[in-house]
Each structure stands twice: as structure tokens, then as C-alpha cells.
């Protein structure tokens, strides 16, 4: 007795979902640098240190809190500064860092962008 070949599946009478227009991405690009800066444990700890101080801190005070080299600390602070999370004020040979509260308001704006 010969085996019969499998029969092709007939297309459904109705599609599984209604076709929509192609979704457009939201304007999330401006937040990429912000979230990249926040994506490191050391940088988050630096932000917590500045927030806990409630005022600006000298780079030497930030450096003494970590067991990292000075160039590594400077690198992390540079990323935070470029993301707009901290401000830097040079006074002679020292740099004083503080939270930039204007940038922190971007977090609720990002949540609103996602529809939350």
C-alpha cells in the first residue's frame, strides 16, 4: 500500500491579526548616552556619593572613596560629565563635581516617552 503525501495546509480564511501601519520608533536616541553612563556600577556609586554629599565634591574626595587609579576615576567622571549627569568646576589644579539636576529630569521624560 502506498503512503499518501502530506497535504499542504490551506490558508486561513481570516488573518490572525489585522494589518497595521508600520510602527515608527520613538525618539530615544538622546537617551542612549545617559543610559550608557548609568550602566556602570562604579559610575552609579559616584552618583550616589555626590547625591549623599548634597553638595559638590572635590575629585580627590571622590578618588579616596574608591580603590581605583586616578586615571580610571577621571575616565568615569568624564563619561558622567559628557552624559550631562554631573557638572565640573575647575579651581586651580582641582576639579569639583556636582550632580546636574537638569539632566536627572530626563528620566521621567523617558518614562513618559515610553507611555508609562
Contact between 73 and 59 (Cβ < 8 Å)? yes
Domain range enclosing 54: 29-108
pLDDT for 68-107, tens place per residue? 999 999 999 999 999 999 999 999 999 999 999 888 787 7
Contact between 113 and 27 (Cβ < 8 Å)? yes
The number of folded domains in the chain is: 1
Determine, yes or no, domain membership for 24: no
pLDDT for 28-65, tens place per residue? 777 888 889 999 999 999 999 999 998 999 999 999 99
Residue 46, number of CB atoms within 10 A of its CB: 23
Determine, yes or no, domain membership for 21: no
Determine, yes or no, domain membership for 67: yes
Determine, yes or no, domain membership for 54: yes
Helix, coil or strand: residue 112: helix
**Which secondary structure element, helix H or strand E, spans residue 105, and what is its range?**
none
CATH assignment of the domain containing 101: 1.10.10.10
- Using a cut of 0.75, tell me whether the model's pTM lies above it: no
Q: How far is CA 94 from CA 58, 61, 88, 89, in A?
A: 7, 11, 10, 8
Determine, yes or no, domain membership for 81: yes
Amino acid at each position: 500500500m502506498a503512503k499518501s503525501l502530506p497535504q499542504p495546509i490551506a490558508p486561513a480564511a481570516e488573518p490572525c491579526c489585522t494589518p497595521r501601519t508600520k510602527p515608527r520608533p520613538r525618539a530615544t536616541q538622546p537617551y542612549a548616552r545617559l543610559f550608557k553612563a548609568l550602566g556602570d556600577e562604579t559610575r552609579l556609586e559616584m552618583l550616589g556619593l555626590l547625591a549623599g554629599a548634597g553638595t559638590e565634591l572635590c575629585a580627590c574626595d571622590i578618588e579616596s572613596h574608591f580603590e581605583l587609579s586616578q586615571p580610571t576615576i577621571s575616565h568615569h567622571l568624564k563619561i558622567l560629565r559628557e552624559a550631562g549627569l554631573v557638572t565640573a568646576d575647575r579651581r586651580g589644579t582641582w576639579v569639583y563635581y556636582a550632580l546636574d539636576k537638569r539632566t536627572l529630569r530626563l528620566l521621567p521624560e523617558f518614562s513618559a516617552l515610553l507611555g508609562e
